[in-house]
Structure 1
Amino acid sequence: MASTPPRARRTSIGASLAVAVATLLAVLSPSPASAAVVFADGFENPVIFNDFTTFAAGQQLGPWTVAAGTVDLTRDWQHAEGNQSLDLNGYSPGAVARSLPTTVLTTYRVRFALAGNPDNGPVVTSGTVTANGQTIDDLTFDTTGQSPSDMGYVYRTAYFTNVLSHSTTLRFTSTTPGAFGPVVDAVRVESCLLVVCPASATRTAIRIS
Protein backbone atom coordinates (compact mmCIF):
# COMPACT_ATOMS: atom_id res chain seq x y z
CA MET A 1 0.00 0.00 0.00
CA ALA A 2 1.35 3.44 -0.92
CA SER A 3 2.24 5.63 2.07
CA THR A 4 0.90 9.16 2.52
CA PRO A 5 3.46 11.75 1.38
CA PRO A 6 5.02 13.73 4.29
CA ARG A 7 3.67 17.02 2.97
CA ALA A 8 0.12 15.64 2.86
CA ARG A 9 0.49 14.32 6.40
CA ARG A 10 1.69 17.75 7.64
CA THR A 11 -1.23 19.45 5.89
CA SER A 12 -3.69 17.02 7.44
CA ILE A 13 -2.19 17.46 10.92
CA GLY A 14 -2.22 21.24 10.55
CA ALA A 15 -5.86 21.24 9.52
CA SER A 16 -6.76 19.01 12.45
CA LEU A 17 -4.95 21.30 14.88
CA ALA A 18 -6.73 24.35 13.45
CA VAL A 19 -10.10 22.66 13.92
CA ALA A 20 -9.17 21.64 17.47
CA VAL A 21 -8.05 25.14 18.42
CA ALA A 22 -11.19 26.70 16.91
CA THR A 23 -13.38 24.24 18.80
CA LEU A 24 -11.56 24.92 22.08
CA LEU A 25 -11.95 28.68 21.67
CA ALA A 26 -15.62 28.28 20.88
CA VAL A 27 -16.10 26.31 24.10
CA LEU A 28 -14.03 28.62 26.31
CA SER A 29 -14.98 32.00 24.86
CA PRO A 30 -17.95 33.72 26.53
CA SER A 31 -20.41 35.56 24.34
CA PRO A 32 -20.50 39.37 24.53
CA ALA A 33 -23.70 39.07 26.55
CA SER A 34 -21.74 37.29 29.29
CA ALA A 35 -19.33 40.19 29.88
CA ALA A 36 -19.44 41.01 33.60
CA VAL A 37 -21.14 44.29 34.51
CA VAL A 38 -18.92 46.30 36.85
CA PHE A 39 -21.11 49.38 37.08
CA ALA A 40 -24.34 50.69 35.53
CA ASP A 41 -26.07 53.96 36.27
CA GLY A 42 -28.69 56.10 34.54
CA PHE A 43 -28.57 59.06 36.95
CA GLU A 44 -31.87 58.09 38.58
CA ASN A 45 -30.60 58.88 42.10
CA PRO A 46 -31.24 61.07 43.89
CA VAL A 47 -34.78 61.48 42.58
CA ILE A 48 -35.48 65.16 41.88
CA PHE A 49 -38.91 66.80 41.69
CA ASN A 50 -38.05 70.05 39.88
CA ASP A 51 -37.15 70.38 36.21
CA PHE A 52 -33.51 70.31 37.29
CA THR A 53 -31.34 70.45 40.41
CA THR A 54 -27.80 71.84 40.48
CA PHE A 55 -24.96 70.09 42.30
CA ALA A 56 -21.60 71.72 43.03
CA ALA A 57 -18.06 70.40 43.42
CA GLY A 58 -17.72 68.11 46.45
CA GLN A 59 -21.38 67.07 46.52
CA GLN A 60 -22.54 63.50 46.00
CA LEU A 61 -24.77 62.65 43.06
CA GLY A 62 -25.94 59.08 43.61
CA PRO A 63 -22.80 56.95 43.14
CA TRP A 64 -20.90 59.89 41.58
CA THR A 65 -18.98 62.75 43.15
CA VAL A 66 -19.09 66.17 41.52
CA ALA A 67 -15.37 66.61 40.88
CA ALA A 68 -15.36 70.16 39.48
CA GLY A 69 -17.65 73.09 38.70
CA THR A 70 -21.40 72.50 38.71
CA VAL A 71 -23.70 69.97 37.02
CA ASP A 72 -27.47 69.66 36.65
CA LEU A 73 -29.52 66.55 37.24
CA THR A 74 -32.56 67.11 35.04
CA ARG A 75 -36.02 65.76 34.22
CA ASP A 76 -36.70 68.58 31.76
CA TRP A 77 -36.14 66.74 28.46
CA GLN A 78 -35.98 63.35 26.78
CA HIS A 79 -33.72 60.81 28.45
CA ALA A 80 -31.88 57.86 27.00
CA GLU A 81 -33.28 55.70 29.82
CA GLY A 82 -35.36 56.27 32.91
CA ASN A 83 -36.60 59.68 34.04
CA GLN A 84 -33.41 61.67 34.61
CA SER A 85 -30.13 62.50 32.87
CA LEU A 86 -27.04 64.59 33.63
CA ASP A 87 -26.16 67.95 32.12
CA LEU A 88 -22.42 68.38 32.71
CA ASN A 89 -22.83 72.16 32.72
CA GLY A 90 -24.75 73.62 35.61
CA TYR A 91 -23.92 77.31 35.93
CA SER A 92 -20.43 76.44 34.67
CA PRO A 93 -18.56 73.48 33.15
CA GLY A 94 -18.53 70.56 35.56
CA ALA A 95 -17.29 67.03 36.05
CA VAL A 96 -18.41 63.86 37.81
CA ALA A 97 -16.22 60.96 38.88
CA ARG A 98 -16.67 57.46 40.22
CA SER A 99 -14.12 54.94 41.52
CA LEU A 100 -14.51 51.41 40.13
CA PRO A 101 -12.93 48.14 41.27
CA THR A 102 -10.74 46.83 38.44
CA THR A 103 -8.55 43.79 37.89
CA VAL A 104 -4.98 44.04 36.63
CA LEU A 105 -4.32 43.16 32.98
CA THR A 106 -8.02 43.36 32.13
CA THR A 107 -9.79 45.35 29.41
CA TYR A 108 -12.98 47.24 30.20
CA ARG A 109 -15.72 48.54 27.94
CA VAL A 110 -17.42 51.86 28.77
CA ARG A 111 -20.76 52.59 27.11
CA PHE A 112 -22.86 55.72 27.52
CA ALA A 113 -25.51 57.81 25.81
CA LEU A 114 -24.45 61.31 24.74
CA ALA A 115 -26.46 64.38 23.74
CA GLY A 116 -26.24 68.13 24.38
CA ASN A 117 -28.34 70.76 26.13
CA PRO A 118 -30.53 72.13 23.29
CA ASP A 119 -31.97 75.10 25.22
CA ASN A 120 -29.60 77.77 23.87
CA GLY A 121 -29.77 77.12 20.14
CA PRO A 122 -27.15 75.16 18.14
CA VAL A 123 -23.94 74.48 20.02
CA VAL A 124 -21.14 71.94 19.65
CA THR A 125 -20.31 70.55 23.08
CA SER A 126 -16.87 69.41 24.14
CA GLY A 127 -15.44 67.37 26.99
CA THR A 128 -13.54 64.25 27.90
CA VAL A 129 -14.08 60.80 29.37
CA THR A 130 -11.05 59.64 31.33
CA ALA A 131 -9.95 56.53 33.21
CA ASN A 132 -7.29 57.26 35.83
CA GLY A 133 -6.60 60.51 34.02
CA GLN A 134 -6.11 58.97 30.58
CA THR A 135 -8.57 60.17 27.92
CA ILE A 136 -10.57 57.28 26.46
CA ASP A 137 -13.29 59.27 24.61
CA ASP A 138 -14.60 62.77 24.01
CA LEU A 139 -17.97 64.44 24.53
CA THR A 140 -18.34 66.22 21.19
CA PHE A 141 -21.99 66.62 20.20
CA ASP A 142 -23.71 69.03 17.80
CA THR A 143 -27.15 70.10 19.06
CA THR A 144 -28.23 71.51 15.69
CA GLY A 145 -31.74 70.27 14.91
CA GLN A 146 -32.25 68.77 18.38
CA SER A 147 -34.94 69.72 20.90
CA PRO A 148 -35.98 68.78 24.45
CA SER A 149 -38.42 66.24 23.00
CA ASP A 150 -35.89 64.83 20.51
CA MET A 151 -32.41 64.99 22.01
CA GLY A 152 -30.75 62.82 19.35
CA TYR A 153 -28.79 60.65 21.75
CA VAL A 154 -25.86 58.72 20.31
CA TYR A 155 -24.39 55.72 22.07
CA ARG A 156 -20.63 55.83 22.52
CA THR A 157 -18.28 52.94 23.36
CA ALA A 158 -14.72 53.26 24.63
CA TYR A 159 -12.19 50.77 26.00
CA PHE A 160 -9.34 50.87 28.46
CA THR A 161 -6.93 48.19 29.61
CA ASN A 162 -6.04 48.31 33.28
CA VAL A 163 -2.39 47.34 33.75
CA LEU A 164 -1.55 47.67 37.44
CA SER A 165 -4.29 49.37 39.45
CA HIS A 166 -6.92 47.66 41.61
CA SER A 167 -9.25 50.62 41.18
CA THR A 168 -9.98 53.01 38.33
CA THR A 169 -11.50 56.47 38.49
CA LEU A 170 -13.96 57.03 35.65
CA ARG A 171 -14.59 60.72 35.02
CA PHE A 172 -16.83 62.71 32.68
CA THR A 173 -15.66 66.33 32.27
CA SER A 174 -17.21 69.18 30.28
CA THR A 175 -14.92 71.68 28.59
CA THR A 176 -17.84 73.58 27.05
CA PRO A 177 -17.98 77.22 28.21
CA GLY A 178 -21.14 78.55 29.80
CA ALA A 179 -24.24 76.76 30.99
CA PHE A 180 -25.16 74.57 28.01
CA GLY A 181 -22.98 71.49 27.75
CA PRO A 182 -22.87 67.74 27.13
CA VAL A 183 -25.69 65.55 28.44
CA VAL A 184 -24.82 62.03 29.60
CA ASP A 185 -27.07 59.10 30.44
CA ALA A 186 -27.08 55.29 30.68
CA VAL A 187 -23.46 54.75 31.73
CA ARG A 188 -22.39 51.10 31.74
CA VAL A 189 -18.96 49.57 32.43
CA GLU A 190 -18.22 45.90 31.70
CA SER A 191 -15.12 43.80 32.14
CA CYS A 192 -14.14 42.55 28.73
CA LEU A 193 -11.88 39.56 28.19
CA LEU A 194 -9.83 39.81 25.01
CA VAL A 195 -11.87 36.94 23.51
CA VAL A 196 -15.01 39.05 24.05
CA CYS A 197 -13.70 42.36 22.71
CA PRO A 198 -13.75 42.84 18.95
CA ALA A 199 -10.27 42.94 17.42
CA SER A 200 -10.55 46.65 16.67
CA ALA A 201 -11.27 47.37 20.32
CA THR A 202 -8.26 45.48 21.65
CA ARG A 203 -6.03 47.44 19.28
CA THR A 204 -7.45 50.80 20.34
CA ALA A 205 -7.94 50.23 24.09
CA ILE A 206 -6.12 52.89 26.14
CA ARG A 207 -3.63 51.37 28.58
CA ILE A 208 -3.80 52.83 32.08
CA SER A 209 -1.97 52.11 35.32
Structure 2
Amino acid sequence: MASRRSRTHRTAIGVALAVALSALLAALTGSPAAAAPVFSDGFESPAVNGDFTEFVAGQQFGAWTVTTGSVGLTRDWQAAEGNQSLDLNGFSSGAVARTLPTKLLTTYRVSYALAGNPDNGPLVATGKVTANGQTVDSFSFDTAGHTPSAMGYVYRTFYFTNVLSATTVLRFASTTVGAFGPVIDDVRVESCLLVICPAGTATAARVA
Protein backbone atom coordinates (compact mmCIF):
# COMPACT_ATOMS: atom_id res chain seq x y z
CA MET A 1 0.00 0.00 0.00
CA ALA A 2 2.83 2.36 0.96
CA SER A 3 4.64 1.48 -2.26
CA ARG A 4 1.54 2.31 -4.32
CA ARG A 5 1.15 5.69 -2.55
CA SER A 6 4.86 6.41 -3.17
CA ARG A 7 4.51 5.66 -6.87
CA THR A 8 1.39 7.84 -7.07
CA HIS A 9 3.21 10.69 -5.28
CA ARG A 10 6.19 10.46 -7.65
CA THR A 11 3.83 10.43 -10.63
CA ALA A 12 2.07 13.56 -9.36
CA ILE A 13 5.41 15.33 -8.92
CA GLY A 14 6.46 14.29 -12.40
CA VAL A 15 3.23 15.63 -13.90
CA ALA A 16 3.61 18.92 -12.00
CA LEU A 17 7.20 19.31 -13.20
CA ALA A 18 6.17 18.56 -16.77
CA VAL A 19 3.41 21.17 -16.59
CA ALA A 20 5.79 23.74 -15.11
CA LEU A 21 8.44 23.02 -17.75
CA SER A 22 5.86 23.28 -20.52
CA ALA A 23 4.68 26.65 -19.17
CA LEU A 24 8.28 27.91 -18.94
CA LEU A 25 9.05 26.87 -22.52
CA ALA A 26 5.86 28.52 -23.71
CA ALA A 27 6.81 31.73 -21.93
CA LEU A 28 10.31 31.69 -23.40
CA THR A 29 9.47 30.71 -26.95
CA GLY A 30 5.87 31.80 -27.42
CA SER A 31 4.67 34.97 -29.07
CA PRO A 32 5.46 37.71 -28.40
CA ALA A 33 9.14 36.90 -27.80
CA ALA A 34 11.03 40.13 -27.89
CA ALA A 35 14.18 41.43 -26.31
CA ALA A 36 13.74 44.25 -23.82
CA PRO A 37 15.37 47.57 -24.78
CA VAL A 38 17.98 48.90 -22.36
CA PHE A 39 18.98 52.00 -24.31
CA SER A 40 19.44 53.34 -27.81
CA ASP A 41 21.54 56.29 -28.90
CA GLY A 42 22.00 57.89 -32.31
CA PHE A 43 24.38 60.56 -30.96
CA GLU A 44 21.85 63.31 -31.58
CA SER A 45 22.54 65.07 -28.27
CA PRO A 46 23.92 67.61 -27.83
CA ALA A 47 23.11 69.10 -31.22
CA VAL A 48 26.28 70.06 -33.08
CA ASN A 49 26.69 73.77 -33.75
CA GLY A 50 28.31 73.67 -37.18
CA ASP A 51 29.84 70.52 -38.64
CA PHE A 52 31.89 69.12 -35.77
CA THR A 53 32.25 69.36 -31.99
CA GLU A 54 35.27 67.77 -30.32
CA PHE A 55 35.28 66.26 -26.83
CA VAL A 56 38.45 65.23 -25.02
CA ALA A 57 39.26 62.74 -22.27
CA GLY A 58 37.31 63.48 -19.11
CA GLN A 59 34.49 65.35 -20.85
CA GLN A 60 30.92 64.12 -21.11
CA PHE A 61 28.26 64.44 -23.77
CA GLY A 62 24.85 62.91 -23.31
CA ALA A 63 25.36 59.76 -21.24
CA TRP A 64 28.84 59.09 -22.67
CA THR A 65 32.22 59.93 -21.15
CA VAL A 66 35.36 60.30 -23.23
CA THR A 67 37.89 58.00 -21.57
CA THR A 68 40.97 58.51 -23.77
CA GLY A 69 42.10 60.83 -26.56
CA SER A 70 39.39 62.80 -28.32
CA VAL A 71 36.23 62.12 -30.31
CA GLY A 72 33.93 64.23 -32.41
CA LEU A 73 30.19 64.54 -32.75
CA THR A 74 29.63 65.41 -36.37
CA ARG A 75 27.02 66.16 -39.00
CA ASP A 76 29.77 66.60 -41.59
CA TRP A 77 28.70 63.42 -43.38
CA GLN A 78 25.83 60.98 -43.77
CA ALA A 79 24.56 59.48 -40.51
CA ALA A 80 23.20 55.96 -40.19
CA GLU A 81 20.32 57.31 -38.11
CA GLY A 82 19.23 60.88 -37.53
CA ASN A 83 21.62 63.72 -38.40
CA GLN A 84 24.72 63.09 -36.30
CA SER A 85 27.26 60.31 -35.79
CA LEU A 86 30.34 59.82 -33.63
CA ASP A 87 33.87 60.01 -35.04
CA LEU A 88 36.03 57.92 -32.67
CA ASN A 89 39.10 59.86 -33.79
CA GLY A 90 38.90 63.55 -32.98
CA PHE A 91 42.40 64.92 -33.36
CA SER A 92 43.72 61.63 -31.93
CA SER A 93 42.47 58.10 -31.25
CA GLY A 94 39.62 58.25 -28.79
CA ALA A 95 37.24 56.12 -26.76
CA VAL A 96 33.85 56.64 -25.14
CA ALA A 97 32.08 54.70 -22.40
CA ARG A 98 28.78 54.60 -20.58
CA THR A 99 27.59 52.58 -17.59
CA LEU A 100 24.61 50.26 -18.05
CA PRO A 101 22.44 48.81 -15.30
CA THR A 102 22.74 45.06 -15.83
CA LYS A 103 21.12 42.05 -14.21
CA LEU A 104 23.00 38.98 -13.04
CA LEU A 105 23.15 36.01 -15.41
CA THR A 106 21.47 37.99 -18.18
CA THR A 107 22.51 38.14 -21.82
CA TYR A 108 22.63 41.45 -23.69
CA ARG A 109 22.53 42.07 -27.41
CA VAL A 110 24.39 45.13 -28.70
CA SER A 111 24.11 46.43 -32.26
CA TYR A 112 25.64 49.49 -33.88
CA ALA A 113 26.32 51.02 -37.27
CA LEU A 114 29.97 51.20 -38.35
CA ALA A 115 31.72 53.26 -41.03
CA GLY A 116 34.97 55.22 -41.32
CA ASN A 117 36.08 58.82 -41.79
CA PRO A 118 36.18 59.23 -45.60
CA ASP A 119 38.05 62.55 -45.63
CA ASN A 120 41.62 61.26 -45.99
CA GLY A 121 41.43 58.80 -48.86
CA PRO A 122 41.29 54.98 -48.48
CA LEU A 123 41.75 53.90 -44.87
CA VAL A 124 41.13 50.73 -42.89
CA ALA A 125 39.74 52.04 -39.61
CA THR A 126 39.92 49.67 -36.66
CA GLY A 127 38.64 49.57 -33.10
CA LYS A 128 37.15 47.44 -30.37
CA VAL A 129 34.29 47.30 -27.90
CA THR A 130 34.78 46.23 -24.30
CA ALA A 131 32.36 45.39 -21.49
CA ASN A 132 33.86 45.81 -18.02
CA GLY A 133 37.27 45.81 -19.65
CA GLN A 134 36.77 42.57 -21.57
CA THR A 135 36.87 42.74 -25.37
CA VAL A 136 33.49 41.69 -26.75
CA ASP A 137 33.90 42.89 -30.35
CA SER A 138 36.78 43.93 -32.62
CA PHE A 139 35.98 45.74 -35.84
CA SER A 140 37.47 47.19 -39.00
CA PHE A 141 36.06 49.24 -41.87
CA ASP A 142 37.65 49.99 -45.24
CA THR A 143 36.68 53.48 -46.43
CA ALA A 144 37.73 52.79 -50.04
CA GLY A 145 34.89 53.73 -52.40
CA HIS A 146 32.95 55.63 -49.74
CA THR A 147 32.24 59.35 -49.55
CA PRO A 148 30.65 61.75 -47.05
CA SER A 149 27.32 61.32 -48.81
CA ALA A 150 27.66 57.52 -49.16
CA MET A 151 29.33 56.28 -45.97
CA GLY A 152 28.51 52.62 -46.50
CA TYR A 153 27.49 51.86 -42.93
CA VAL A 154 27.39 48.22 -41.90
CA TYR A 155 25.58 46.97 -38.80
CA ARG A 156 27.43 44.79 -36.33
CA THR A 157 25.93 42.73 -33.51
CA PHE A 158 27.49 41.04 -30.52
CA TYR A 159 26.31 39.50 -27.27
CA PHE A 160 27.65 39.42 -23.76
CA THR A 161 26.37 37.60 -20.71
CA ASN A 162 26.64 39.50 -17.46
CA VAL A 163 27.65 37.05 -14.73
CA LEU A 164 28.38 38.93 -11.52
CA SER A 165 28.12 42.71 -11.90
CA ALA A 166 25.15 44.98 -11.17
CA THR A 167 26.48 47.42 -13.79
CA THR A 168 28.46 47.07 -17.00
CA VAL A 169 30.73 49.70 -18.54
CA LEU A 170 30.33 49.55 -22.33
CA ARG A 171 33.25 51.18 -24.14
CA PHE A 172 33.87 51.89 -27.84
CA ALA A 173 37.52 52.62 -28.68
CA SER A 174 39.44 53.44 -31.83
CA THR A 175 42.70 51.55 -32.39
CA THR A 176 43.54 53.67 -35.45
CA VAL A 177 46.38 56.15 -35.03
CA GLY A 178 45.86 59.76 -36.12
CA ALA A 179 42.92 62.01 -36.84
CA PHE A 180 41.02 59.68 -39.19
CA GLY A 181 39.37 56.52 -37.90
CA PRO A 182 36.13 54.63 -37.29
CA VAL A 183 32.68 56.20 -37.12
CA ILE A 184 29.79 54.71 -35.15
CA ASP A 185 26.09 55.47 -34.93
CA ASP A 186 22.73 54.03 -33.86
CA VAL A 187 23.94 52.06 -30.83
CA ARG A 188 21.27 49.80 -29.33
CA VAL A 189 21.39 47.52 -26.29
CA GLU A 190 18.70 44.96 -25.42
CA SER A 191 18.46 42.36 -22.67
CA CYS A 192 17.34 38.92 -23.69
CA LEU A 193 17.32 35.24 -22.98
CA LEU A 194 19.49 33.19 -25.32
CA VAL A 195 16.42 31.22 -26.41
CA ILE A 196 14.87 34.52 -27.55
CA CYS A 197 17.86 36.12 -29.23
CA PRO A 198 20.47 33.41 -29.87
CA ALA A 199 24.00 34.52 -30.63
CA GLY A 200 24.24 32.60 -33.91
CA THR A 201 27.39 33.66 -35.74
CA ALA A 202 27.72 36.96 -33.87
CA THR A 203 30.45 37.34 -31.29
CA ALA A 204 29.53 36.36 -27.73
CA ALA A 205 31.33 36.68 -24.40
CA ARG A 206 30.82 36.26 -20.67
CA VAL A 207 31.47 39.34 -18.56
CA ALA A 208 32.22 39.35 -14.85
Q: Which of 129-138 and 86-95 deviates more?
A: 129-138
3-state SS of 1:96 partner: strand
RMSD: 2.1
Quick one: distance in 2 between partners of 1:127 and 1:91? 16
3-state SS of 2:54 partner: strand
The 8 Å contact of residues 118 and 147 in structure 1, kept in 2 or not, is answered as yes
Q: How does 1:45-194 map to 2 (within 5 A)?
A: 45-194=45-194
Return the offset for 1:197. 2.0
Match for 2:206: what amino acid?
A: R
Quick one: distance in 1 between partners of 2:36 and 2:69? 33
The 8 Å contact of residues 109 and 160 in structure 2, kept in 1 or not, is answered as yes
Quick one: distance in 1 between partners of 2:191 and 2:31? 13
Quick one: distance in 2 between partners of 1:106 and 1:80? 28
The 8 Å contact of residues 139 and 174 in structure 1, kept in 2 or not, is answered as no
Return the offset for 1:27. 4.5
Residue 32 and residue 56 in structure 1: after superposition, are their counterparts in 2 closer, same or farther (change >3 A)? farther
Quick one: distance in 2 between partners of 1:191 and 1:22? 23
Quick one: distance in 1 between partners of 2:152 and 2:66? 25
Quick one: distance in 2 between partners of 1:175 and 1:101? 27
The 8 Å contact of residues 30 and 196 in structure 1, kept in 2 or not, is answered as no
Quick one: distance in 1 between partners of 2:76 and 2:139? 20
Unmatched tracts of structure 1, length 5 or more = 1-17
3-state SS of 2:78 partner: coil
Quick one: distance in 1 between partners of 2:199 and 2:97? 29
Residue 31 and residue 196 in structure 1: after superposition, are their counterparts in 2 closer, same or farther (change >3 A)? farther
The 8 Å contact of residues 60 and 66 in structure 1, kept in 2 or not, is answered as yes
TM-score norm. by structure 1 comes to 0.85
3-state SS of 1:196 partner: coil
Q: Deviations over 1:24-83 (max 9, x none)?
A: 624442658621111110100111121101110011111100011000100010000001
Match for 1:82: what amino acid?
A: G
Task: Report whether the alignment pairs 1:206 with 2:205.
Answer: yes
Return the offset for 1:195. 1.6
TM-score norm. by structure 2 comes to 0.85
Q: How does 1:8-47 map to 2 (within 5 A)?
A: 25-29=25-29, 34-47=34-47
Residue 154 and residue 71 in structure 1: after superposition, are their counterparts in 2 closer, same or farther (change >3 A)? same
The 8 Å contact of residues 32 and 196 in structure 1, kept in 2 or not, is answered as no
Return the offset for 1:22. 7.3
The 8 Å contact of residues 30 and 195 in structure 1, kept in 2 or not, is answered as no
Quick one: distance in 1 between partners of 2:166 and 2:24? 30
3-state SS of 1:109 partner: strand
Return the offset for 1:139. 2.7
Matched residues, percent identical?
70
Residue 50 and residue 30 in structure 1: after superposition, are their counterparts in 2 closer, same or farther (change >3 A)? farther
